[in-house]
Chains A and B, each alone.
Chain A
Amino acid sequence: MEFASSDRMIRPAINATALKILIAGGFGVGKTTLVGSVSEIEPLRTEEQLTERGAGVDDITGVERKRTTTVALDFGRITINQELILYLFGTPGQDRFWFMWDELAQGALGAIVLADTRRLASCFAAIDFFEERHVPFVVGVNCFDGTQMYTVDEVRAALDVDPFVPVLLCDVRQRESTKKVLTTLLEHIMSLTGHAQRAAAVDN
């Protein structure tokens, strides 16, 4: 597989700002494929041992009441310039890993929810999660091998997302298509930031 810009590796400055965008959606919907299509490095995998929330996460004495799970995270990197590095994190697909998302969501610029029209329900949990935490997101409807059976409007209606949330068709195997999803997300975040600033200006 070819990666986006391995020929222009830039050594980041230590005072660089690192940003992250989350890629969510059901199991097997193409999250890691999306990351790989734009990452300058082959997607890396890291594993976190997680303890289910509720029993004092760092308290060894509570061990008999806790269950530990190993969760894999796939991620890639786009070095914008020496001062700015963007990480894309593919989130775990299974609902039983939701308890760890708080850490993932902290400080995230925004999120891409990847949807598969054959299993639309598998991204409901992700949409609820980002709506509740006010994390800006767009919905990318990943079209596998021409299986797109629905229009954007039909998908939007089925997902019941707010009218201002962008929903777009994509093929995340294609770098240009993934770039389009990412730029749509950035524009969406910028428009929300602009609204918030204008609202604050009116309040003052």
Chain B
Amino acid sequence: MSGEDSAWFDEDAGPLARPYTFTRGRTHVARDDLNMITLVVALRGNHGGELDHAHERILECCQDPISIAEVAAGADLPLGVVKVLLSDLIEQNYVIFRTGLAKHSSAASPDTLQKVLDGIREL
């Protein structure tokens, strides 16, 4: 779209990025504790029959503990969309999550680093 054409829409025009129709236009995740490697899992036996298709699709992807990046790849949806849908599912207690390292700390313990090192050597 050229700059001259851009005047026709305003905020009422809704989302421009099509995948965000799944989130009803929401691009903002209220919680800031979800990132690409946050692990999520559906609560046992919860298949969300009463959910809409997009949420159900996400729930199906996280029957086993899995990172949000993998959910996005599995559901073939952008990460941002998946974060919005997952935060809905978390709020409604369909899904629980565990964050990775704290947002502003990249310091893993020496013990953890040693385990990672040993694990890579054993590959």
Contact = CB atoms under 8 A, between A and B. Distances in A.
Contact of A19 (B35, B70, B78, B108): B108
A20 B100 contact: yes
A4, A77, A109 pick with most chain B CB within 10 angstroms: A109
A190 B78 contact: no
A174 interface: no
Contacts of B39: 12, 14, 16, 18, 85
Interface stretch (A28-36, A43-51, A150-158): A43-51
A63 interface: yes
Contacts of B79: 46-48, 73
A80 B101 contact: no
Nearest to A50: B80
A80 to B, nearest CB: 3
| Interface range for A | 35 or more
Contact of A20 (B37, B73, B80, B110): B37
B112 A46 contact: no
Given A13-B65, A64-B6, A182-B120, A19 B98 contact: no
B108 A47 contact: no
Interface string A32-67: 000000100000111111000000001011011000
Contacts, number: 150
Given A11-B64, A107-B35, A77 B70 contact: yes
A61 B28 CA distance: 13
Interface string B108-123: 1010111111011101
Interface residues of B, number: 51
A103 interface: yes
Contact of A86 (B81, B107, B119): B119
Interface stretch (B12-20, B48-56, B86-94): B12-20
Given A16-B65, A60-B11, A107-B103, 4 more contacts: A17-B112, A47-B78, A63-B16, A107-B102
A159 interface: no
A20 B105 CA distance: 13
B80 A48 contact: yes
Contact of A46 (B64, B73, B101, B123): B73
B75 to A, nearest CB: 10
Contacts of A182: 120
Contact of A107 (B7, B96, B106): B106
B46 interface: no
Given A49-B78, A107-B105, A78 B98 contact: no
A137 to B, nearest CB: 12
A86 B121 CA distance: 13
Contact of A44 (B15, B69, B104): B69
A94 interface: no
Contacts of A61: 11
15 contacts: A12-B65, A16-B39, A18-B38, A19-B112, A46-B69, A47-B78, A60-B11, A80-B120, A81-B119, A84-B112, A84-B115, A86-B120, A107-B37, A107-B101, A175-B123
